Amino acid sequence: MAELTDLRSAAALLSWDERVGMPSGAASTHGEMLATIKRVEHEKFTSSDTGTLIEQAETEVSTLDADAPARRKVAVTARDFDKATRVPSRFVVTHTNAVSAAHQAWREARERSDFSRFEPHLKRVLELKQEYVSFFAPADHPYDVLLDDFEPGARTAEIQRMFDALRPRQVALAKAVQERPAVDDAFLHVPYAKNDLLEFAIDVISRFGFDWTRGRQDMSAHPFAAAISSNDVRITTRFVDRNPFELLFGMLHEAGHALYEQGVSQEWNRTSLIGGASLGVHESQSRLWENIVGRSMPFWMHFYPGLQKRFPSQLANVTLDQFCGAISRVKPSLIRVEADEVTYNLHVMLRVEMEIALLTGGLDTKDAEECWNSKMADYLGVTPGNSADGVLQDMHWSVGLFGYFPTYVIGNVVSAQLWSAFQDAEPAWEGQIQAGDFAPLRTWLQREIHQHGRRYQPRELVRRVTGNDIDAVRYLTYLETKYS
């Protein structure tokens, strides 16, 4: 498993380089390198020798307590092995090459705001996803197979029930807020010096506890976090002229992912337990730091004087209350990563509904942009004026991440559950954050969530920490309390 983990880390490093530093002419070379590494890793992992070793290990640990680290490690490895052995090596190579080409096509299409340049690649990726589903026994829903890769144990029907619980109350809340006088946020959209804003953001995530000896930060077309290992975690952000503060909140978001990976116990390095429990749990960390902490009054009571000093011409006459109101303004928007907390989940629901329709044949890729624009009008009352702000805005489909989007909503829901548990455990939390002391929160999260890596499945982990299943009630309470 140590050797296999090394190969996966090498593949992750190549993927990071593709998105951050690779010259455009190297796309095919990188695709071939990545395909070779993934093929070698897949063949080694799915070999009969590995299967024999897993069977022997299962026998050896069978008398241990069900929660013993060795038994957990074997169980996770066996589950991964069972899934991997259903997928042929030739498919791994084909899929890797296809998504490498698709990602480059997406970048070029987005730059030119031309969906037609990406559509054939989307069609090819979708065909491969349909083939991937066919490798597994029929599920309650074909989308279950894709969802399980990112959120182990989750089912499409559960996600749809969660959406049904969230949608009406979030739509009602958004409507109620929109009926009030609009919050003035014009000062957030005037010119800000990119480097100064970046320096401020770096200072903030340093205070969060981001370990620069085991991480780095770069710029990319779409913000993301890449864990090469728990000792090499890389995050990116982007600067958008019309919305400069996306750089800051993007950094806070990706730092949440990074703190999770850096907090995984060193005991799990080069084992199957390295990484997070699921992408939903991972997203709970990023949304907690970005929104629940990063858009809160106690947070800005500490940081706002420094921000004002750094940008006097923009913020000298803006009060703390005005600033906090502006960064939490509810306003339907075109861009998911710029969306406010109240409308964000609606962006995700749109994408998930499209993914399911694309996968099951209810939507053709040639009609994807038209469908996108129609749903944006129905869900949010806005319509993209171009492809870059619409169907091409996210990179996920270009890199084959079908089944990923539901984890954003799960992350929002779980973030509120974890925040409630932390408040109960640390009654002095407000004063700590107001003082710029994030160590208690970071330590609590590391103890309760981060250190375990993949030791527990997501629902089990949430129950251990909060005493409850994953449930939307706390998140709806958080939103309605904050915005009412």
Check: CB of residue 126 under 8 Å from CB of residue 359. Answer: yes
**Class of residue 102 by CB neighbours under 10 A (exposed 0-12, middle 13-18, buried 19+):** buried
Helix axes 320-327, 297-310, angle to 10 degrees: 110
**d(Cα 457, Cα 453) in Å, to the nearest integer?**
10
- Sign (positive or negative) of CA dihedral 109, 110, 112, 116: positive
Sheet with 232-237: list strands edge to edge.
Answer: 215-219, 232-237, 225-229
**d(Cα 371, Cα 354) in Å, to the nearest integer?**
8
**Angle at Cα 385 formed by Cα 383 and Cα 388, nearest 5°?**
105
**d(Cα 272, Cα 160) in Å, to the nearest integer?**
30
* 158 belongs to the catalytic site: no
Identity at 150, one-letter amino acid code: F
Helix axes 2-20, 89-112, angle to 10 degrees: 20
Contacts 24+ apart (CB under 8 A), 232-240: 232/9, 232/13, 233/257, 233/258, 233/261, 233/262, 234/16, 234/20, 234/258, 236/19, 236/20, 237/198, 237/201, 239/194, 239/197, 239/198, 240/338
Identity at 33, one-letter amino acid code: M
Q: Say whether 415 sits in a helix, a strand or coil.
A: helix
Check: CB of residue 109 under 8 Å from CB of residue 75. Answer: no
- Tell me the three-class secondary structure of 11-79, residue by residue: HHHHHHHHHHCCCHHHHHHHHHHHHHHHHHHHHHHCCHHHHHHHHHHHHHHCCCCCCCHHHHHHHHHHH
**Catalytic residue (one of 41, 151, 246, 254):** 254
Give the number of other CB atoms < 10 A from CB of residue 25. 8
| β-bridge pairing 215-219 and 232-237 | parallel
Q: Residues near 219 by Cβ (< 8 Å), separated by ≥ 6?
A: 20, 236, 237, 238, 239
Q: Say whether 296 sits in a helix, a strand or coil.
A: coil
Which sequence positions are flagged as catalytic?
Answer: 254
